[in-house]
Chain A
Amino acid sequence: MTVSDTAPSPAAADAVLAAALLAIDPAGLGGILVHAGAGPVRDRWLDGVRHLMPADAPWRRMPVMITDDRLLGGLDLGATLNFGRTVAQPGLLADVDGGTLVIAMAERLAAATAARITAAIDTGVVAVERDGFALSQPARFGIIALDEAVSADEVPPAALADRLAFHLDLTALRLAQLPAFAVDHEELAAARAALPGVAIADDMIEALCATALALGISSLRAVLLAVQVARVHAAFEGRGAVAQGDAEAAGRLVFASRATQLPAAQDQPPPPAETPPPPDTETPPDADSPDQDLTDRPLDDVVLAAALAALPADLLATLRQGTQRRGQARTSGKAGMARLSRQRGRPVGATRGDPRAGARLSILDTLRAAAPWQTIRRRERAQQRGPAIEIRRDDFRIKRFKHRSETTTIFVVDASGSAALHRLAEAKGAIELLLADCYVRRDNVAMIAFRGTAAELLLPPTRSLVRAKRSLAGLPGGGGTPLAAAIDAATALANVVKRRDETPVVVFLTDGRANVGRDGTGGRARAEEEAFNAARQMRALAFNTLLVDTSPAPTPVAQKLAGELGARYIALPYADARGISRAIQLSQQGAA
């Protein structure tokens, strides 16, 4: 970076601007997704946002593993026992009405939890049908989702991200670059009051729509949010109608982070020559001179230029290569291999039992069990005064949980030249069969491909077979065999899977002929040594592994690799992909 450490960067200025706009219309803009590690930069920014919000507005932090009774609400036990009648307790979503909800570790947020939150965002109310209550409470709030992901396979749920107007990335910012927040509550309140009167002309809406299309943003919600951002920006600037500058700001703030393609314009510089790995130099933004003769250009071009100028350099590079910057959200599943447990997992009902033996008391079911007896018990104790509700030991009900132990099968596919020549098509066929199996068992699948100089995560763990199929079909072959890099990538992914409490099964489809080392350079001997090294490291972690030899005839090198991996070895039988399928089933049974 040539920029000095203390110069306020445009990204930092936008981070402050986004916060101010959110403070004007939290519910209308949805919120801010912030990609940043925990640290002073994020803390200072968060602190600034908090002070921008009205002093009396609620500010609540939500733990990522929140339970439904806290998120949505339910029975208030203390009050219920005290008064002898059912008393409802509002959940966090109702609590935060009119304020800001801070979601920590949003990248770990389960899709099911996200869906509960997005339902409240969409309707402005939280609908509760729980514990004998049917409530509908207002819940209009802004969200600050803190995304602390360090690797590309952890992303916040897309359904939530789609509804948040601003996606900021503070990872590259230094503390000194973050400008101070000028908090002027009166100014913000004035903007809030003026907002309903701010008009937006049709050509502005058209320009924003056209820009979104040009950048390959398909969600219409992004455009709706951009329209609202433009209006809030106009109100912030004290204008009664959306001006060009407001639309530009909206394009920059909302679209830049969501772009999936570059517009097919003629004034693009030609893409850099194919020199893998991509040069890590700074690519200047394409629209490096957006100020030139702005007046002559149609409005959509102006907005587009503003959005392009805000694209981070690395994003430009990846977009040009035609790949997404970060993987898509993983799916959250059902079924799988379920185990009943008394302590963890999803509650699936209650049973009579003793809550002291490490089990968790199901309060509501206990009350239900006790309820019909209250009249009799009251009569039994006659004159003596007692509690409003008398609960006896037989009434205790404990929660039963279903603990999901899912399997994630990681396919590591050799797409190098040697494999492509021989058996890539057959290997693909085998994987398709395996995918069908995974579908039946409702397993997750993930796919890593390696060719040329590096291994690439083609598909983060998902249950969507459509996507698995699609990524497999689009897999080209050719190039060197960076086996060590592939094993490293598989190990890393298997570790991620294991951390999620799922069981990884790793399936290598390769001929074992490593000829590219970890650093991307050739040399068979060293590459093989590195591959064996990586294999030994993987074996130490004791995952279930299977190596399918894809060479024309079984080779000693692949067998040796399987040995180092501690993997079951099978040679890919000709025209019998089903054989592999059986082999994997066997090794998965070994895992169970």
Chain B
Amino acid sequence: MALVFPFSAIVGQDEMKLALMIAAVDQSVGGVLVLGDRGTGKSTAVRALADLLPAMKASLDCRYNCDPASACEDCQKRKGRAAKSHMVPVPVVDLPLGATEDRVVGALDLERALAGGVKAFEPGLLARANRGFLYIDEVNLLEDHLVDLLIDVAASGENVVEREGLSVRHPARFVLVGSGNPEEGELRPQLLDRFGLSVEVRTPTDLKTRVDVVRRRDTFERDRAGFIETWRSEDEKLRRQIIAARKRLPDVAVTDAALERAAALCMKLGTDGLRGELTLIRAARALASLEGDMTVADAHLKRVAPPALRHRLRRNPLDDAGSSVRVERAIAELFGA
């Protein structure tokens, strides 16, 4: 992989960066969906995130990068061997458009089948993304049958393969990250629901920000290694922030008052199901943790409510007041100005 643009050097787009950081702190928040104008650095940010994530511990020789603390079926079967582990980078796997189903879920290893008549399972992208991130650029252009498949796996955290005489199941817990341009087509509601946070990005309209973006990008293109070096300490700072937040996370308290607030907000907006409330609380807790606070306060809820809820409002495709506006309005009414 070529040298990627550093995360900390991305100008503005604070909501997008925050959502990705939250997902990095607490994977159970669910995926992140980034929708917005062309050329706003959507995929740049996701690819940069990979470099920011601290390494994780994984069982040695495990094809699914499983956690030694809760080994997968495959690893449990190989008893007798001491559970050796090693540090690996957190996988950020690209699901390119045009991918075929066999590569996504895994399939019969054709090479070995042809050469030796051996029936072996060749893991796919879902296996590689286990415990990491699965990134789909232009997610609204993804083939329907792949979308169905993703919806199923993202919900169960497990990939079940029943094809070509194979019967394999393996863990596939990943944070789904999608980006796209809403003008290219709408997203299926079921898939929309799988994303914990949804972020809208806009092209900056003020001259100074735009000049900054262009200047940084130009410097980067001319000397990638040097540019990354310049921002290394900033990136390192963010990485330490993520590590500290993860450590702090179990101790961050969610008071009854905060739970009630969250519930009231969801009721006001009429979001379907409990997933909205759950995501809202988890995201607020991750945010508190990122900021070094030990209790979830109104300020945290207010900041994460738009990304956690805006894609869960009862869909009225014709409502001009965008969902963001509706969420903001509800927040203002509930929390006071």
Contacts and interface: CB of A to CB of B under 8 A. Distances in A.
Contacts of A210: 207
Given A123-B2, A374-B113, A196 B218 contact: no
A130 B221 CA distance: 31
Interface stretch (A243-251, A466-474, A486-494, A539-547): A466-474
Given A122-B43, A133-B103, A348-B145, A372 B183 contact: no
Interface in A423-441: 432, 435-436, 439
A464 B186 contact: yes
A116 B2 contact: no
Nearest to B215: A205
A129 B107 contact: no
B75 to A, nearest CB: 23
A196 B111 contact: no
Interface stretch (A36-44, A215-223, A579-587): A215-223
A349 interface: yes
A568 B303 CA distance: 53
B210 interface: yes
Contact of A86 (B103, B110, B188): B110
A109 interface: no
Mostly, the A contact residues are: helix
Contacts of B124: 129
B210 A213 contact: yes
Contacts of A72: 96, 98
B64 to A, nearest CB: 16
B145 A349 contact: yes
Interface string A222-252: 1110011000000000000000000000000
B114 A84 contact: yes
B182 A466 contact: yes
B102 A131 contact: yes
Range for the number of chain B residues in contact with chain A: 35 or more
Given A112-B141, A132-B103, A227-B218, A213 B184 contact: no
Interface stretch (A254-262, A331-339, A352-360, A407-415): A331-339
Contacts of A162: 38-39
A435 B96 contact: no
B214 A372 contact: no
A328 B183 contact: yes
Interface stretch (B51-59, B115-123, B153-161): B115-123
Given A129-B95, A132-B102, A349-B145, A111 B184 contact: yes
Nearest to B93: A129
A115 interface: yes
Contacts of A122: 43
B164 interface: yes
Interface string B32-50: 0000011110010000000
Interface in B265-308: none
Contacts of A208: 214
A368 interface: yes
Contacts of A205: 211, 214-215, 218
Contacts of B211: 202, 205-206, 209
Interface string B171-201: 0000000000111111010000000000000
Nearest to B99: A129
Contacts of B185: 111, 331-334, 463-464
Nearest to A377: B117
B320 interface: yes
Contact of B203 (A119, A196, A219): A219
B145 A111 contact: no
A224 to B, nearest CB: 6
Contacts of A218: 37, 203, 205
Contact of B164 (A84, A368, A436): A368
Contacts of A34: none
A467 B108 CA distance: 45
A219 B39 contact: yes
Interface in B71-111: 94-104, 107-111
Contacts of A591: none
Contacts of B207: 206, 209-210, 213
Nearest to A222: B39
B318 interface: yes
Contacts of A228: 218, 221
Nearest to B39: A221
A97 to B, nearest CB: 14
Contact of A372 (B113, B144, B186): B113
Contacts of B164: 368-369, 372
Interface string A122-142: 111101111111100000000
Contacts of B102: 131-132, 364
B320 A85 contact: no
Given A84-B114, A111-B141, A464-B186, A432 B318 contact: yes
Contacts of B122: 132
Contact of A112 (B97, B111, B186, B217): B97
Which 6 A-B pairs have CB atoms at the shortest separation, nearest pair first?
A: A375-B117, A371-B113, A221-B39, A129-B103, A129-B99, A127-B96
20 contacts: A86-B111, A115-B97, A116-B98, A125-B2, A127-B94, A129-B103, A132-B102, A200-B218, A209-B207, A209-B210, A219-B203, A222-B39, A224-B39, A331-B183, A334-B185, A368-B108, A374-B117, A375-B116, A464-B182, A464-B186
Given A84-B115, A128-B98, A132-B102, 7 more contacts: A119-B96, A119-B138, A125-B2, A130-B99, A206-B211, A328-B183, A364-B110
